[in-house]
Amino acid sequence: MLGLNKRDTRFLLIVIALTMLTPFILQPFPEGSALAQFNAGYPDLMQRIAIFGIFAIGFNILFGLTGYLSFGHAAFLGVGSYAVVWMYKLLDYNVLPGLALAIVTSGLFALAIGYLSLRRSGIYFSILTLAFAQMSFNLAYSVLTPITNGETGLQVYTSDPQILLGENEPNIPHLFGLVMSDSYKLNLGGWVFTFNIGYYFTAVIAILVFYLSLRIFRSPFGLMLRAVKSNQTRLNYTGVNPRPYTLAAFVISGMYAGLAGGLLAAMDPLAGAERMQWTESGAVVIMTILGGAGTLMGPVLGAGFIKYLEKIFSKINENVLDGWFSFLPDPLREVVVWIFSRFTGEGWALTLGLMFMLVVIFLPGGLMEGGERIRNLIRRRKNGSGDDASPGRTPAE
Amino acid sequence: MDAILLQILNGLDKGSAYALIALGLTLIFGTLGVVNFAHGALFMIGAFCAVTLQRLLSLSYVTIDETRTDFLGNPLKVRTPYLESWFGPEVGQAIIDWSVPLAIIFAIPVMVGLGFLMERGLIRHFYKRPHADQILVTFGLAIVLQEIVKYFFGANPIPTPAPEAFSGSFDFGVLLGFEPNAIIYPYWRMIYFLFALIIIGAVFAFLRFTTFGMVVRAGMADRETVGLLGIDIDKRFTIMFGIAAAVAGLAGVMYTPINSPNYHMGMDFLVLSFVVVVVGGMGSLPGAVLAGFLLGILESFASMNEVKSIFPGIDQIIIYLVAIVILLTRPRGLMGRKGVMEE
């Protein structure tokens, strides 16, 4: 189906099912129960997971397949956001023209930056992309204020032209009248499920771009990108110029990033320069690595995992912890709460840093490799005798 | 003319900081072949050594003075630092005043120890891993160090003044026959520049004129052969890591009066220092120093109003622009050695 073999079709169907049922999956605990704070089925978080999933899928096409580590993808995220908000300002609140413009502009940006940066490889490439991104960030903050509105961030004012704005049109982001922030709440027993239009809009796009990346992974083009990663010298000797392939990968991943940035502005009609900062580029690297670079599902898992933990961990403060450990005797409880509160609430960044180090040290292939290892372990158990016939998968870089 | 001189002077102190951090980065890269993204965090920890020492020295006890009252009418609480009660008010006050220079002595063992710990505990296991992995794991470490400092010292910048004696400015222009006040330069920035020169000179002399340095240089050129000669090169490289950490730390200690330290200052400097290293040429020590001063001075020229009126916003991007141009025209950087980190 759709140019995929049986296995991939099944895989895609599973992904579609998971994405569509996310409001149920992330809401496993009944409202008002003690575990309700682990619920993540609210629109804002689900949208973020989908959007950063798109960002990471795109980044993975570059980093996972070709091995070129870009530290400047946040620039495209920012460009996408600005493009969408500008379309709001000039036309109206319909998100489609903005998203189209976001993909086109970020693609052009990626073409220019990629054309220059890809002349170098390895750490030089990382530094070049970082330099370009920091330049864009600094310019967006200072000289380009007429376009980016500087520190305040770009937003829509009532004095903006908005030439297509009709009489009864909603004045928040919408798709032909379907307002992004509208939700339908379903009460089922103790559970409350929220179905948000913005989330489903993002989810459909996410599935489309996931399908696209699946096709790229399976195509001759994808194979060529893998060849760049495994041995570029040999590729040169066989008479292939890898530059057009890597540049295409760079532009595609830049367009994914622009789309993600545009969707951020489609959920919340604001765009700020801080989206271009290099910490944001670092975040997408972390997501991709954590999930497993070079795998199809890894980046999405990584994005979901990090965004989920970020939300949940920042919510847990000392009072919540006090409640959890109330069964412990007082002095012991204080110690335990103190230790846990270093890693939660304000300390979320510490957990992120530690988690990141642990993954890079012990599990270079990310969560996907972890899953693989566990599966192998179980299989070996079943087979009884330790036959090591299945060679360990080489971890993706 | 005086404006140009002034900008050169202004660029020197920032250039010194870039040069010192880039020197440490290059030392680590040249010896161990590791790309250390946590180097900015070492700079930051150095700065917080100065803050810590200042806080330790000003530890004080509270006495209640019955004869005076505060604005609420309660008896006034007088804080007296222990140092003042031990050494008398004048000596005690002087020691507290000089806490930043004194922090140099305090910071060296701390930074060297931290460097050893990092190398032995973490970096050692990453020699054979790809550069991407090294970047990622040290990036994670930098976040962790940053968060730890944030926990102890809070998120706000902490002012840490230089000693009273250096608080003024030096009228540099008078020496050269310009009008008074045409070129003035704060004493502390001058000290920082001189300090950087001394440290850089010391590192180069150490590598050039000692047997230890000779072995290290040999190891940088060909690690395997030096190992075959029966020299424990790993141990020496670990020591070099400690020295590089100390250089970054000292750069941080002395930088505190120029810019109040906060927990993310390391990250701000790290990105720029990496650009400096790449411009100078990966693995080239003179290149790192040269590029550091060069970019520092260029940055201060770009922030002149005359330049900004021609190229608006140039001060924000000059360093990155230079880096892009240099990387595209001279792939090896200004003074990069052949065969080091070429594709």
CATH of the domain at B153: 1.10.3470
| A130/B331 touch (CB, cutoff 8 Å), yes or no | no
- Split at pLDDT 50, 70, 90, the class of B336 is confident
Of B131, B275, B343, the CB nearest to A131: B275
Residue of B nearest to A63 (CA): B132
Number of Cβ pairs closer than 8 Å across A and B? 112
Best A65, A143, A346 residue to mutate vs chain B (most B CBs within 10 Å): A143
- Do the domain assignments include residue B246? yes
Residue A95, token pair as written in the block: 């998100």
Q: Which residues of A216-246 are buried (b: 16+ CB within 10 A; e: fewer)?
A: bbeeeebebbebbbeebeebeeeeeebeebb
Which range is most confident: A53-67, A307-321, B51-65, B221-235?
A53-67
- Do the domain assignments include residue B286? yes
CA distance B138 to chain A (A): 8
Q: Which residues contact A335 (CB under 8 A, 6 or more apart)?
A: none
Number of structural domains chain B divides into: 1
Q: Domain range holding B213?
A: 2-57+99-329
Amino acid at A247: L
Using DSSP's 3-state secondary structure scheme, residue A158 falls into coil
Of B132, B313, B341, the CB nearest to A397: B132
Higher pLDDT, B127 or B178: B127
- Do the domain assignments include residue B74? no
**Alpha-carbon gap, residue A142 to A125, rounded angstroms:** 26
Q: Which residues contact B157 (CB under 8 A, 6 or more apart)?
A: B259, B260, B261, B262
Residue A232, token pair as written in the block: 């570029």
Cα B2 to Cα B29, B189, B268, distances in angstroms: 39, 18, 30
What is the percent of chain B where pLDDT is above 70?
A: 97
Contact (CB, 8 A) for B220 and B30: yes
Residue of B nearest to A290 (CA): B136
Cα A159 to Cα A65, A89, A152, A163, distances in angstroms: 46, 9, 17, 11
| A357/B144 touch (CB, cutoff 8 Å), yes or no | yes
| A135/B327 touch (CB, cutoff 8 Å), yes or no | no
**Alpha-carbon gap, residue B283 to A131, rounded angstroms:** 20
Of A142, A279, A360, the CB nearest to B313: A142
Residue of B nearest to A135 (CA): B317
Instruction: Point out the residues of chain A with pLDDT beneath 70.
Output: 1, 34, 384-397
B128: DSSP letter? S
Cα A221 to Cα A61, A233, A313, distances in angstroms: 11, 18, 40
Residue A194, token pair as written in the block: 């929220």
For residue A184, list its beta bridge partners: A195
Predicted confidence at residue B343, as pLDDT, reads 45
Predicted confidence at residue A384, as pLDDT, reads 61
Predicted confidence at residue B203, as pLDDT, reads 92
Residue of B nearest to A131 (CA): B320
> Mean per-residue pLDDT for B254-273?
84
Task: State the distance between the two ends of chain B, measured CA to CA, in whole angstroms.
Answer: 43
A164: DSSP letter? T
Q: Which domains does chain A have, with CATH numbers?
A: 6-314 (1.10.3470)
Q: Which residues of A touch B (CB under 8 A)?
A: 67, 69, 116, 119-124, 126-128, 130-132, 134-135, 138-139, 141-144, 278-279, 282, 285-286, 289, 342, 347, 349-350, 352-354, 356-357, 360-361, 364, 397
| A124/B331 touch (CB, cutoff 8 Å), yes or no | yes
For residue B77, list its beta bridge partners: B64
Cα B74 to Cα A140, B70, B79, B197, distances in angstroms: 54, 6, 15, 53
Predicted confidence at residue B219, as pLDDT, reads 86
Q: Which of B270, B241, B246 is nearest to B139 (CA)?
A: B270
Q: How many CB atoms are closer than 10 A to CB B273?
A: 30
- Do the domain assignments include residue B85? no
Q: Which residues contact A161 (CB under 8 A, 6 or more apart)?
A: A89, A90
Of B144, B320, B341, the CB nearest to A354: B144
> Mean per-residue pLDDT for B4-27?
87
Predicted confidence at residue A391, as pLDDT, reads 47
Best B127, B128, B136 residue to mutate vs chain A (most A CBs within 10 Å): B136
When mean pLDDT is compared across A49-63, B113-127, B153-167, the lowest value belongs to B153-167
B257: phi then psi, degrees, rounded to nearest 5: -70, -25
**Alpha-carbon gap, residue B153 to A87, rounded angstroms:** 44
Residue of A nearest to B278 (CA): A124
- Do the domain assignments include residue B75? no
Higher pLDDT, A54 or B33: A54
Cα B316 to Cα A138, A153, B272, B308, distances in angstroms: 6, 18, 12, 10
**Alpha-carbon gap, residue B271 to A130, rounded angstroms:** 8
Using DSSP's 3-state secondary structure scheme, residue A353 falls into helix
Amino acid at A391: P
| A119/B125 touch (CB, cutoff 8 Å), yes or no | no
Q: Which residues of B touch A (CB under 8 A)?
A: 35, 122, 125, 129-133, 135-137, 139-144, 146-148, 151, 267, 271, 274-275, 278, 282, 312-313, 316-317, 320-321, 323-324, 327-328, 331, 341, 343
A167: phi then psi, degrees, rounded to nearest 5: -65, -55
